[in-house]
Structure formats: structure tokens, C-alpha cells
Amino acid sequence: MAKTAGFCFGVKRALDMAFDIAKKDACTCTLGPIIHNPQVIKKLEDAGIAPVEDIDALKDRKVSSVIIRTHGVTIEQIEELENSEITVIDATCPFVKKAQNYAKLLKEEGYKVVILGNKEHPEVKGLMSYAGDDVMVVDSPGEFKKVRGKVGIVVQTTQQVETLKELISSAVENCKDLKIYNTICNSTALRLKETTEIAGTVDVIIIVGGKNSANTTQLASLCNELEVASYHIETADELETQWFEGAETVFITAGASTPEWIIDEVKERIEGIGGETR
Amino acid sequence: MAKTAGFCFGVKRALDMAFDIAKKDACTCTLGPIIHNPQVIKKLEDAGIAPVEDIDALKDRKVSSVIIRTHGVTIEQIEELENSEITVIDATCPFVKKAQNYAKLLKEEGYKVVILGNKEHPEVKGLMSYAGDDVMVVDSPGEFKKVRGKVGIVVQTTQQVETLKELISSAVENCKDLKIYNTICNSTALRLKETTEIAGTVDVIIIVGGKNSANTTQLASLCNELEVASYHIETADELETQWFEGAETVFITAGASTPEWIIDEVKERIEGIGGETR
């Protein structure tokens, strides 16, 4: 069992806030899914808090308050909400918040802001809105186009530091003034590190977490690079007996948004296939 | 013949200034050798401008003006001179000046300043004086000690960009706020690049320039890494016939402080050994 599996600080904080509100206020929603784990979202919906897609949908539902997801939203959305009757409960992960502030600071200091991250991810969409019109988003260092002058880099919190190093090496060739905020969160870094260190000593790795979760898919793609048999599942139901044929050691890890009850179920199901847990 | 061999902008500018003053003012000195080429220093001495070691020596000689060397001097030395009767003629290379200003700026912005360079080199000694008491000088990335918090990097103008990349990769692991001024001068970068590109296609490389010249020794150490037969000489007199036995192609390059007349002499001497120049 990975020591680093499961809820990180930001996810735990956001869910505590959400379930707390669920007890008090029947008339609230989250703007987008609060975290990227469909099973947790389902539980929250059962407790009365549904995710809605945009602010118009909030208005249609006449909610009194809205919870901002861990990944944050755009500055324009925050401003629109602040000008409305709806109360904002900000569950943005404090580390994402930090990255947003750095993006804003870089823009104000006249840097061209480069974000290392996936431009389709809500965290990056939020970051972009703070970085100014001139922002460049690169998903991989190869996408970086030569820029001279002042370049400031911020990073989606779930990226790998090795990718950041490659991007910087590319940028420093031409940029005489380069400012980097390494906003990769420690929780992500430690999870990736633990998996890297253990990969060579196990036969199979099971990665548990949302298929839409950036940090979980980072874990899964790391395992692919490490060339160890690995499977990314959301729940125990996806496990297949043949994955474990001839395997002596299985490593179970999970993303920052994967709840303990799902990890436990996976562990028990694998034990049932015939094993013991260390 | 290397296209990039010989005087760079900063050296040419400084020598123009010095020989110009030599015509007008018999009572001037340089604070340390103006560039790192003993043969040029000798020429300048013959024209009446000698290098002196420190400000006391200037005062002993009762000079009316002093020329600041291309590598720059410390902020304390500049201040002492400004408070004296001696007129300062600043031949500091504008690119070194820029690095000094960046070191000062980083210190003022609360960064711990890290200088990539050789702490015994006068350019780095000058830079250090602008960077504050907390400065760290690393000659190679391996010397970098983990620092958390705000780290600002400036670079001795004659370093290799690959070394800078290694240093940054090491620093970004722990520093959340990293600011880099890539103060490696283009002239150095292009000279190293040309040599790297040509190394595989020639039998022997001759590097011409002061043994005390940082950019020339960088060239020489690059050639060592590239595993091509290479020899670092100051003048044609050091050439040895046996270096060229069986060699079909010889590449001649030179540092930023090597005068054309020395390069020409080397070329002619090698032609005399039996060859033709392309």
C-alpha cells in the first residue's frame, strides 16, 4: 500500500467544507465537480450538493450559495459571482490559489506567462485567466516556442518536476530573464516519487482514482514510462483476475481525490484473489 | 579558421578606450590587467598604460585616471575611487555590467543570490560584491547546496549554458521561487557552439588565447570533453610539429581577448608546417 495514496490536504479541506454545508444549507451547488472522482461526486449529490456546469445554471436553480471546486475557476467567473446575489464558498486548493496569484504577479511585472499544464484542465483554465491575454500554455516542453525577453513560468500543481526541468532548459537558451514559480504541490511530488522508487521491486501496480483526475493519470503515465505492468481503475469492479497471474507483489497507489473506502475495497478484492497485505 | 575567433565587443571597446587614452594621458593605469591576454597587456604597457594590483598602488603612482578592466571590479573599489581624486574610466564590458546590476537587483528583491562561476576570477569577485553577504558561488552544479525559498541566479558571462541548465535543474527541486538571469554572453555561446559543431569533422583543434582567460579555457575544456586532439596555446612559438602528424584538417579558434595578429601568426606557422587555409 502506498503511504502517499488518497486524499491530499486540498481535497480533504474542500470535502470537509462541502459536507459541512450540506448539513446546513439545502440550497447550494458546486461550480463544476468539486474534485475529479465520480464516486465522491455521487456521494455529495446524495447529500444534496450537485455540480452545475456554469453560472447560468446556478441562477436557474436559484441557489443561495456556490462552492468553488478545488481546481479553482476563472477570475471572470469569480467576479461575476461576486456581483450576484450568490454567496461564494471558496474551496479552491490553497496551492492552486498560490499558483493563480503567481500568474497574476508575473503578468503585472511584465513577464510573458508560460503555464506548464493541460489547457483542457479546469485548473489550467483558471490559471490562464490570471495570466493575461499573452499567456502560452504548453502541455509538454516540445510545445514551447522560442520566446526572448521576460518569461515567467507557473505550473499546474499536478505536473512532474522532470517535465518542468525540460521546459526550463528549453526556455533558458533564449530568455535572458526567466522567473519560475515551481507550483507543483508536494503531495503530487511525493506520490510520484514513492511510485518511482518502488516500481522496480513489484510485479504489478494498481492505480486507483478518477479517469478525469490529472494527478491520477500522471501516476498512471509515470508507471507506463517505468515499464511495469500497471492498471488504472476507478473502482474494485474493474479488477481482472488475470492481471495478477504469476505476480508475487502488487503495489496499490491512488490519486489525491480517491477516497479511502474505494482504496480499501480494491485492497480487499485483491486479497480475495489470493494474497496478503503488507 | 573559426568565424567566432578573436576580440568580442567588450574587449574591442575596452582596448579602443585604452589606446585612445594612451595617446592623450601619460598618467593612467588599469586596475588589474584590462583583458586576460599577456601579449596585449605588454603592448599596452609599451604604449604607457601599465596594470596595477590595487588602489593603494594607484595612489603611490599618483595617477590622474584609472581604467576599469573589462571584467569589472568590486562595488567597494568603485566607491573608494569615486571618493578619491582619481578619474574613473569605466571599460567594464557592458554585459558584465548588466550581470552586476542583476545581482544587485536580486539582492534588493530579497533573493539569495547564486553565482555560477569561478570565485577566483575577477569578474566573479566583482559580481559577488553586488550580490550581498549571503551570496553563494558555485563553480559546478554539484557544488550547489539545497536552498529553499527565493533563489536568484546570475552567471559569469563566459560559462556554458549546459552547466547553467544543470544548476537550474538542481535548484528547481527545492526552490519554489527561482529567478534566473542568463547573463552568458552571446559571443561566448556562439564561440562554444561553432566549436562543438565542427569538432567531429577535424583532426586537431588549436585554441589560441591567454592561459588566464576564462572564455579561452572554457573553449579548451569543451574540446577536452569532445575528445578531439586539441592544444591551448598563447602564441605561435608554442606550436609543435608532431601535433600535426597525419592530420588532414586543423581548426583554429581563439578566445575573446586574443588579438588578430597572434591568430594570424599561428595560422601562418601551421601553414608553414605544410598545409593550406580554408
From chain B, the residues in CB contact with A179 under 8 A are 178-180
Contact between A40 and A70 under an 8 Å Cβ cutoff? The reply is: no
ipTM score over 0.90, yes or no: no
Q: What is the pLDDT of residues B28-87, one digit of tens each?
A: 999 999 999 999 999 999 999 999 999 999 999 889 999 999 999 999 999 999 999 999
Name the one residue in this structure whose C-alpha cell is 539569495: B112
Name the one residue in this structure whose C-alpha cell is 535572458: A176
Sheet holding A87-90, edge to edge: A50-52, A28-31, A65-68, A87-90
A277 has pLDDT over 70? no
From chain B, the residues in CB contact with A181 under 8 A are 176-178
pLDDT at B133: 94
- Give the active site residue among B53, B120, B123, B248: B123
Active site residue A82: no
Find the angle CA(B78)-CA(B80)-CA(B81) to the nearest 5 degrees.
65
Predicted TM-score (pTM) of this structure:
0.87
- Average pLDDT over every residue of A175-203: 94
| A161, A173, A177: residue with CB nearest B172 | A161
- For testing contact with chain B, the best of A98, A157, A179, A192 (most B CBs within 10 A): A179
- Average pLDDT over every residue of A167-178: 94
B276 has pLDDT over 60? no
Query: In residues, how long is chain A?
Result: 278
Contact B165 A169 (CB under 8 A): yes
What share of chain A has pLDDT > 70, as a percent? 98
pLDDT at B149: 86
Which of A139-171 are b and which e, b meaning 16 or more Cβ less than 10 Å from the residue's Cβ? bebeebeeeeebbbbbbbbbbbbebbbbbbbbb
Helices of type H across chain A? 9-24, 38-46, 55-61, 75-82, 94-108, 122-130, 161-171, 186-199, 214-225, 260-274
A196 touches B at CB < 8 Å: no
Q: What is the pLDDT of residues B154-206, one digit of tens each?
A: 999 999 899 999 999 999 998 999 999 999 998 988 999 999 999 999 999 99
- CA B196, chain centre distance (Å): 19
Q: What is the pLDDT of residues B126-154, one digit of tens each?
A: 999 999 999 999 999 888 988 888 999 99
Confidence bin at A148 (pLDDT 50/70/90): confident
User: What would the grid cell of residue A278 be?
Assistant: 503488507
Confidence bin at A211 (pLDDT 50/70/90): very high
From chain A, the residues in CB contact with B172 under 8 A are 161, 164-165, 168, 180, 182
B274 has pLDDT over 80? no
What is the DSSP code string of B117-129? S-TTSHHHHHHHH
C-alpha closest to that of A55 among A35, A73, A81, A74: A81
Q: Report the distance separating Cα A45 and Cα A242, nearest Å.
A: 35
Helix (H) or strand (E) holding A115: strand A112-116
Average pLDDT, chain A: 93
> CA dihedral in degrees (A104, A110, A112, A113; nearest 10)?
-20
Confidence bin at A27 (pLDDT 50/70/90): confident
What residues of chain B, 122 to 161, have a C-beta less than 8 Å from chain A? 161
C-alpha closest to that of B157 among B131, B141, B179, B181: B181
B94 has pLDDT over 70? yes
Confidence bin at A234 (pLDDT 50/70/90): very high
